[in-house]
Amino acid sequence: MRLLFVGDVVGRAGRAAFVREIPRLRARWALDLVVVNGENAAGGFGITEPILDELLDAGADRVTLGNHAFDQREAMVFIERRNELIRPVTFPPGTPGRGADLVETKTGKRALVVNAMGRIFMDAMEDPFAAVARELDACPLGVACDAAIVDFHAEATSEKLALAYHLDGRASLVVGTHTHVPTADARILPEGTAFQCDAGMTGDFESVIGMDREEPIRKFLHKTPGARMTPAEGPATLCGVAVETGADGKAVKVAPVRIGGALSPATADFWEPA
């Protein structure tokens, strides 16, 4: 399978980049599955149902979330009837929505998508190591699904690395989100799981992790309450990770993806037409 995971979409600029690039990439790379983190898509804080539909209409198959999952309170209602939207499985029992979903792709494949949140420097929730392993054990790679993607929304690189090695061989891709900065460590682990510590954001990088620079700088300088932060609206970079799997669902190719905006470009050149 050909999989593309797209990092945290931030505000209007990030949505515009996603809507512009994904239809082209789906066709050019013959993608089987596109997953995107949308927890910052609504003005940097949460997601609304119209924005969910905007991402899906552009070519996303599933949209994952994170610590801003319910910043838009309406999400607590519509997430119950939208299988396409996945919040962290580590939320307490009784939280609206679901933390994993088995996707039937348009190409006839089955892909498990799991979303989890870390515990280091984050709100204390269920153990992500146990929660994600439980979902993967219930839908084994190469048996019940053709691919498995884990979006690990976490702050600490050590926690992301530890989870990836813990799951090595049981997932096609373990990818970090949340810090909004793409890391330079995309690789395939010894047992066949593709990994990148952070996919980066899809947003304007002439910013402070997607937000207009003025207010974050003021807060660092003065440490006093101020205005609500707003997303930067310049040209955005679409950041993500491209993965190709073999017949057993394990990764055989992986590459970072960066298109447009301020960052140096990177592409899945193994899928580019000759």
Query: How far apart (Å, rounded) are the C-alpha atoms in residues 58 and 54?
Result: 6
Round to the nearest angstrom and report the end-to-end CA distance of the chain.
20
Tell me the DSSP string of 126-155: S-HHHHHHHHHHHS-BTTTBSEEEEEEE-S
Long-range contacts, 66-69 (Cβ 8 Å, 24+) = 66/8, 66/37, 66/39, 66/115, 66/117, 66/153, 66/177, 66/178, 67/39, 67/117, 67/122, 67/123, 67/153, 67/178, 68/39, 68/40, 69/39, 69/97
**Hey, which residues are catalytic here?**
68
